[in-house]
Structure 1
Amino acid sequence: MTKADLVLVNGLVHTPSGPFQGDVAVVDGKILGVGSYPDAARRVDCTGLDILPGVIDSQVHFREPGLEHKEDLESGSRAAVMGGVTAVFEMPNTSPNTDSEMRVHDKLERAEHRMWCDHAFYVGATAENAESLADLERIPGTAGVKIFMGASTGSLLV
């Protein structure tokens, strides 16, 4: 059996099968397994704590570009990681809106080496880009298409 670098012990471990009292073993920053692991370089007592897999937040508003004084890709993703979030899908209602291939690539470039977690970006649907949405959502790094049914920023209203 591989020796773990870290074992989180005595926590309430949440899995698809349901929660159970147990340990989570970690090697090189990745989960080795769940169960009982008596031997590890470092053990952390998690009695009374819940142990969850990484959380995915499928709707974040980091406000970059255009409103970085509120939050940007780096600060928002860092805050997400501190809360246990390991992946985010960022909304397109920025200034300018993320509604074209050029703007998706701009966001991907802004995110490179700055975001602290896995990420993807939504493309905003508009009357002007409706014909190209199928192509836009296939751009690597795109989470999908966001359709705003009520008022939003710019022309993000269908």
Structure 2
Amino acid sequence: MSGWQEQVADTARRYGELDARLARTTVTETSRDGVVRVTVGADGSMVDLVLLESRQPLSMAALAAKIMSCVSRARARLPDLIARAMAETVGHDKTADLVLADARSRFPPVPAEAAPHRREVAEEPRMVAPPRGMPPPAVAPPPHRGDDRDDDWNETAIFENP
């Protein structure tokens, strides 16, 4: 019985070591232009996001695509890191195989064409300057919100009978 208890205690210790190691594991990916840097933990959750000013105007959709691309690439690296940590702490057993299979299903590899997101700039709408000699488009002034009562409303309720 003593040998069995020692084996269980040793297994628990090794899985505790794995848990502590995975708690410290992070993966960071940066967009090609350096505007987005994302760090994810071993569970795939985002633990850090750094956004820098872009040299070119960037739409919210393009920024979101950069963020998601970095998250996907970081998560895709997790199964290999988890496998390495498991091999160095708990070794190979059925539980380790199940944990690794779960990680691989939750964090699949990024398709090669999506790895460096190349279409960001091409999909950006471009601002076109008006032709020379043509005035810029008129901009409507903001609505007047003054208190000078220049409207026709007499402050009676809309649904009141006269």
Q: Please classify the TM superposition score into its range, dividing by the shorter chain length.
A: under 0.3
Which is strand-richer, 1 or 2? Answer: 1
Q: Normalised by the size of structure 1, how large is the TM-score? A: 0.23
Higher relative contact order (CA 8 A, sep 6+): 2
Which structure carries more helix by proportion? Answer: 2
Q: So what's the TM-score if we normalise by structure 2?
A: 0.23
